[in-house]
Amino acid sequence: MFADLLARLTATNPAPAADADARLALGALLVRIARADDDYSAVERDQIKQVLKARYGLDDATSLLAECETLEQQAPDTVRFTRAIKDAVAYEDRLGVIEAMWQVVLADGKRDEDENSLMRMVAPMLGVADQDSNAARRRLEQQG
């Protein structure tokens, strides 16, 4: 299952992601950012589940998170993975991906340099301007 999804996401000209594929790709990217600081905490896992539940209208995202964790472990390097998502996901949804990633980064109350570095790298690879990424982060910091 994951091999097929990864093949589709990393194809030369990927088709727009199907809903189930988009869920897994987003979740895997959220897991990747949460693991960036080598401290994949319960609060980060809970935040990822909250994002997935809210975004996809789920009652429980536990099994989806487990699938996303597996996909993240099997996914190629972040550069290829995010470029594949960029090619397969509409721009508006990519802005939402950046905001969701910041929610995960900020979930544990601290911004680690590895997380910051990955966010600076990922936003442009997803085709999202640094200004838009920073604006999303500031909005979330003001809410929290």
Query: Per-residue pLDDT tens for 42-101?
Result: 999 999 999 999 988 999 999 999 999 998 998 777 876 787 678 777 788 889 889 999
Per-residue pLDDT, 9: 62
**Between 2.40.128.20, 3.90.550.10, 3.50.50.100, 1.10.3680.10, what CATH number should domain 2-143 receive?**
1.10.3680.10
Per-residue pLDDT, 124: 92
* Contact between 9 and 17 (Cβ < 8 Å): yes
Dihedral, CA of residue 55, residue 58, residue 63 and residue 69, to nearest 10: 0
Task: State residue 119 phi and psi, 5-degree precision.
Answer: -65, -40
Q: How confident is the model at residue 134 (pLDDT cuts 50, 70, 90)?
A: very high
> Of all residues in the chain, what percent carry a pLDDT higher than 90?
56
Q: At which residue do the structure tokens 């301007």 appear?
A: 129
**Alpha helix (H) residue ranges in 89-143:** 91-107, 113-125, 130-143
Per-residue pLDDT, 8: 63
